[in-house]
Amino acid sequence: MAAVLLATSALFTSCSDDKDDPIVDKTPNLTFVGGTNYVSSDASFVVGASFKVGINASANSSSSEKIRKVVITRVFNNTPVVISNRSMKESNYSLDTTFTANQNTGIEKFMFVITDDAGLTKELTLNITTTAAAGDIKSYTAVLMGGQGNVNAGSFYSSKDNTVMFQATAITNQSSVDFVFWYGTSNLYAIGAPTNTDANTAFESLFTNWTTKNDTKFKKLSGVNFDGITDDSVITAQATGLTDTKVSSLTVNDVVAFETAATSTYASRKGIFKVIEVSGTSATNRAIKIQVKIQD
């Protein structure tokens, strides 16, 4: 009977020991290199920019299985491309690689996978967002536009060639008219698209019968250094998601983002203008003077 009890006790002790055995992670080690000269987390770059990624790989301390392979894969638009497949037999392995950001805008995944002698793997990934590089702009100063009753300055503006047109010319060049200036009792000094109802009212239903009415969008801005804009990076950021077809109650130093409509002849373009002068006391002499910066 004592022998049976001893055997039973041994059996339970053995089972208990098995359950208490820790599960040892035997996958190899893989980390990104940190520091100011390295990218070690998700980042954003303009298309074509260079950046460096470093990795450190090492054998698992429990298994001591050496690193046999390092594979680097780029995935863009769900298309994987293996750009590096290196074989070795090392307990410790480090690699620095300089990449060029994708030439297309979007998110690209970079996958770093190591495999050891036992066939176990470890993977790290980075998501690199590519954005369009800053583009050139055209700058126009002292663009003078007259109100709907002003006979000395036109009310209709084309951003394509920085021209101000009188009504007769605008009627025959409808596709070139991006916005108009008028003065009203509620809107005061206002600029809007030919599609805007207040603009149509101010010009006595002129746009009702136009066959082409460019649907330019606008937004008043704050905190934007207009004078410091030298490329289209600020313009692109500010003139995005615009919904208003007019801006009203304009005063000196107001800064306004706008985006023109795409036509069969011209692509949509983003721009910003600054009000530098408002003038006039009657319908015949009211005017506005603006500076314009627009994508080239």
Q: Per-residue pLDDT tens for 12-23?
A: 444 545 555 678
Indicate if the pLDDT at residue 229 is higher than 50: yes
| pLDDT tops 90 at residue 216 | yes
CA 205 to the chain's CA centroid: 39
Cα–Cα distance, 49 to 27 (Å, whole number)? 34
Task: Using the predicted structure, report yes or no on whether residue 184 has a pLDDT greater than 50.
Answer: yes
Residue 3: inside a domain: no
Domain co-membership, 205 together with 286 = yes
**Domain-terminating residue out of 85, 107, 131:** 131
Which of 72, 157, 162 is CA-nearest to residue 110?
72
pLDDT at position 6 is 44
Please, what sign has the CA dihedral across residues 288, 289, 291, 294? Answer: positive
State how far the Cα of 140 lies from the Cα of 273, in Å rounded to an integer: 9
pTM comes to 0.66
Residue 52 lies in domain:
29-131
Last residue of a domain, one of 80, 109, 131: 131
Query: Predicted confidence band at 133 (pLDDT cuts at 50, 70, 90)?
Result: confident
Is residue 221 a part of any domain in this protein?
yes
Which domain-ending residue is among 131, 154, 176? 131
Residue 213: inside a domain, yes or no? yes
Residue 7, in any domain of the structure: no
Residue 152 lies in a domain: yes
Q: What is the pLDDT of residue 67?
A: 98
Kindly report, residue by residue over 57-111, the tens digit of the pLDDT.
999 999 999 999 999 999 999 999 999 999 999 999 999 999 999 999 999 999 9
- The answer to whether residue 42 is domain-embedded is yes
- Report the CATH number at residue 60: 2.60.40.10
**Residue 102 in contact with residue 57, Cβ under 8 Å?**
no
